[in-house]
């Protein structure tokens, strides 16, 4: 009796694979070869490296093991484009990735084509279930790097004195007249709640096993905190009041000289915000969600507002029934937009009209949660080198939920756990407030 693979049939998988590979190439179209070499902060990688590393993943974890007769493209690429898989091969220091002027961009594009052809051959052959699972994992890995590619290039363009736009064509000044109502509260009962991934569709190992948690009654804000509201926090001395900050957060404020979110600049008292669509005035962006804030800033804002951040399970319980629709990469806004701009997101409008859920659950900004990134009870990392994918980062990081304006829609789900250190702020990371609705005994 043959076992049934827990992956989609080959045709659906082939389509997922092709669309992921094509989209990565589409995302670098606005970039010059010089843009693709920049590595402007330690967290980031050059776009050219992303092109190569995502290809390396398929070659290393799929083709070498599962395609008989596969011809390695270049023997040095196995270690050159390894990111952090210690048990697979050595790898260069991350900070040196911008010095990879060789191999050339042309050679990396040929590497991509070579690997793509080989994966297509494997998909046409009678590939074993584990190979199909690895291809699906590779497509999901590629989507993660699509988001990283855009967040990294945003930082690269921000550090360029010319502040060039990645893409023009959206006029945020159209948002400048939007007046949002104060956030409303969505009340949730809590109780014994199942969390974690359910079903046979793809998930990462860190979303498993599904298990039960207890939630006290709570409430979530029905939208994200806006730039305008965050400007009020700044104007009220938010970055100058140690009582609002966690100790490590305050140390970071002092050490880094933080006065505002990462891409805010102040000239003669007027704030501007840098986006993938170029520099924008705060006035034009006032109703859009604040983004590129660290966990420390999200926590300090919540304390200033007399509220708190949700735990990851409070967030998941509120999100699980909501259709995945919102300002994700597929909308091509490439920046967070105000909660009232819902014409393109009818499901989200429906949620609001029926009072069933919260705006901006999916997309716009990843939402910092108050939960440390840990393995679930019974967590088992993948076997072999792929066990290093998620599990080894389970210390010193906080969980973020919900995806951002540069997350592919096919990539996100209610159980998805993103994670970064609490000082990290080059991602599209924002704030949703939460509160308790009963006094704890």
- Beta strands 429-430 and 433-436 are unpaired
Residue number with CB closer to Fe ion (83 or 140): 83
Q: How far is the CB of 141 from Fe ion (least distance, A)?
A: 6
Residue number with CB closer to Fe ion (83 or 193): 83
Strand partners, 433: 309
Q: How far is the CB of 151 from Fe ion (least distance, A)?
A: 14
Cα separation of 189 and 209, whole Å?
23
Residue number with CB closer to Fe ion (143 or 348): 143
Output the residue with the shortest Cβ distance to Fe ion.
83
Q: Which stretch binds Fe ion (CB under 5 A): 76-84, 311-319, 346-354, 376-384?
A: 76-84
Residue number with CB closer to Fe ion (16 or 141): 141
Q: How far is the CB of 145 from Fe ion (least distance, A)?
A: 6
Binding mask 211-230 for Fe ion (x = CB under 5 A): --------------------
Q: How far is the CB of 85 from Fe ion (least distance, A)?
A: 9
Contact between residue 275 and residue 167 where contact means Cβ atoms under 8 Å apart:
no
Q: How far is the CB of 140 from Fe ion (least distance, A)?
A: 10
Cα separation of 37 and 35, whole Å?
5
Binding mask 36-75 for Fe ion (x = CB under 5 A): ----------------------------------------
Instruction: Please give the size of the binding site for Fe ion, defined by CB under 5 A.
Output: 1
Q: Which stretch binds Fe ion (CB under 5 A): 79-87, 118-126, 172-180, 298-306?
A: 79-87
Question: Cα angle at 326 between 322 and 330, to 5 degrees?
Answer: 130
Residue with tokens 């079903």: 199
Q: Which stretch binds Fe ion (CB under 5 A): 78-86, 271-279, 302-310, 416-424?
A: 78-86
Measured in degrees and rounded to the nearest 5, phi and psi for residue 67 equal -110, 105
Closest C-alpha among 336, 179, 315 to residue 261: 336
**SS3 assignment, position 104:** coil
CA pseudo-torsion sign 97, 101, 102, 105? positive
Q: Which stretch binds Fe ion (CB under 5 A): 1-9, 77-85, 377-385, 387-395?
A: 77-85
Residues 6 or more apart whose CB falls under 8 angstroms from that of 141 comprise 54, 57
Residue number with CB closer to Fe ion (144 or 265): 144
Q: Which stretch binds Fe ion (CB under 5 A): 43-51, 82-90, 219-227, 235-243?
A: 82-90
Measured in degrees and rounded to the nearest 5, phi and psi for residue 284 equal -70, -20
Gyration radius from the chain CA atoms: 22
Q: Which stretch binds Fe ion (CB under 5 A): 81-89, 256-264, 327-335, 371-379?
A: 81-89
Structure tokens at 393: 């980062």
Q: How far is the CB of 142 from Fe ion (least distance, A)?
A: 9
Q: How far is the CB of 263 from Fe ion (least distance, A)?
A: 24
Contact between residue 273 and residue 282 where contact means Cβ atoms under 8 Å apart:
yes
Residue number with CB closer to Fe ion (56 or 166): 56
- Find the helix packing angle between 129-159 and 47-58, rounded to 10°: 170
Residue number with CB closer to Fe ion (271 or 389): 389
Residue number with CB closer to Fe ion (232 or 388): 388
Q: How far is the CB of 50 from Fe ion (least distance, A)?
A: 8
Q: How far is the CB of 83 from Fe ion (least distance, A)?
A: 5
Residues 6 or more apart whose CB falls under 8 angstroms from that of 38 comprise 46, 47, 98, 153, 156, 159, 160
Cα separation of 359 and 357, whole Å?
7
Structure tokens at 178: 């939007």
Binding mask 364-403 for Fe ion (x = CB under 5 A): ----------------------------------------
Q: How far is the CB of 393 from Fe ion (least distance, A)?
A: 12
Count Cβ atoms within 10 A of the Cβ of residue 184 and give its class: 0-12 exposed, 13-18 middle, 19 or more buried: middle
Closest C-alpha among 221, 302, 233, 234 to residue 269: 234
Q: Which stretch binds Fe ion (CB under 5 A): 83-91, 151-159, 197-205, 308-316?
A: 83-91
Q: How far is the CB of 144 from Fe ion (least distance, A)?
A: 7
Residue number with CB closer to Fe ion (83 or 98): 83
Residue with tokens 């996100």: 412
Residue number with CB closer to Fe ion (61 or 362): 61
Contact between residue 141 and residue 50 where contact means Cβ atoms under 8 Å apart:
no
Cα separation of 327 and 165, whole Å?
19
Distance from chain centroid for Cα 28: 18
Residue number with CB closer to Fe ion (83 or 397): 83
Q: Which positions touch Fe ion (CB under 5 A)?
A: 83
């Amino acid at each position: 009796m043959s076992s049934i693979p827990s992956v989609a049939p080959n045709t659906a998988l082939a389509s997922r694979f092709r669309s992921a590979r094509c989209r990565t190439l589409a995302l670098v179209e606005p970039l010059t070869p010089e843009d693709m070499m920049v590595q402007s902060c330690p967290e980031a990688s050059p776009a050219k490296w992303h092109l190569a590393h995502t290809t390396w993943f398929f070659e290393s974890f799929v083709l070498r093991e599962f395609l008989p007769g596969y011809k390695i493209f270049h023997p040095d690429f196995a270690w050159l484009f390894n990111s952090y898989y210690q048990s697979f091969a050595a790898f260069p220091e991350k900070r040196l990735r911008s010095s990879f002027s060789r191999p050339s961009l042309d050679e990396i594009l040929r590497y991509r084509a070579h690997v793509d052809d080989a994966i297509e051959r494997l998909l046409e052959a009678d590939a074993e279930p584990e190979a199909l699972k690895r291809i699906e994992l590779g497509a999901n890995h590629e989507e993660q790097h699509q988001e990283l590619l855009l967040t990294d290039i945003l930082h690269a363009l921000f550090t360029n004195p010319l502040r060039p736009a990645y893409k023009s064509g959206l006029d945020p000044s159209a948002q400048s007249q939007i007046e949002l109502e104060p956030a409303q509260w969505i009340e949730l009962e809590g109780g014994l709640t199942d969390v974690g991934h359910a079903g046979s569709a793809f998930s990462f190992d860190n979303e498993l096993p599904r298990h039960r948690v207890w939630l006290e009654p709570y409430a979530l804000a029905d939208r994200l905190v806006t730039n305008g509201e965050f400007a009020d926090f700044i104007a009220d001395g938010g970055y100058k009041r140690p009582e609002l900050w966690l100790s490590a957060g305050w140390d970071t404020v002092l050490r880094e000289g933080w006065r505002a979110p990462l891409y805010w600049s102040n000239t003669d008292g007027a704030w501007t915000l840098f986006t993938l669509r170029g520099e924008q005035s705060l006035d034009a962006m006032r109703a859009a969600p604040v983004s590129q804030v660290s966990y420390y800033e999200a926590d300090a804002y919540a304390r200033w507002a007399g509220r708190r951040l949700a735990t990851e399970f409070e967030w998941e319980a509120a999100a699980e029934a909501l259709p995945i629709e919102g300002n994700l990469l597929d909308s091509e806004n490439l920046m967070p937009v105000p909660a009232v701009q819902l014409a393109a997101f009818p499901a989200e409008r429906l949620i609001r009209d029926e009072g069933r859920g919260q705006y901006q659950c999916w997309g716009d900004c990843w939402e910092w949660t108050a939960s440390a990134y840990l393995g679930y009870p019974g967590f088992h990392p993948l076997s072999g080198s792929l066990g290093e994918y998620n599990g080894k980062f389970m210390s010193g990081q906080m969980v973020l939920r919900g995806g951002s304006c540069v997350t592919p829609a096919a990539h996100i789900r209610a159980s998805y756990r993103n994670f970064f250190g609490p000082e990290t702020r080059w991602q599209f990371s924002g704030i949703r407030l939460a509160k308790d609705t009963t006094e704890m005994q």
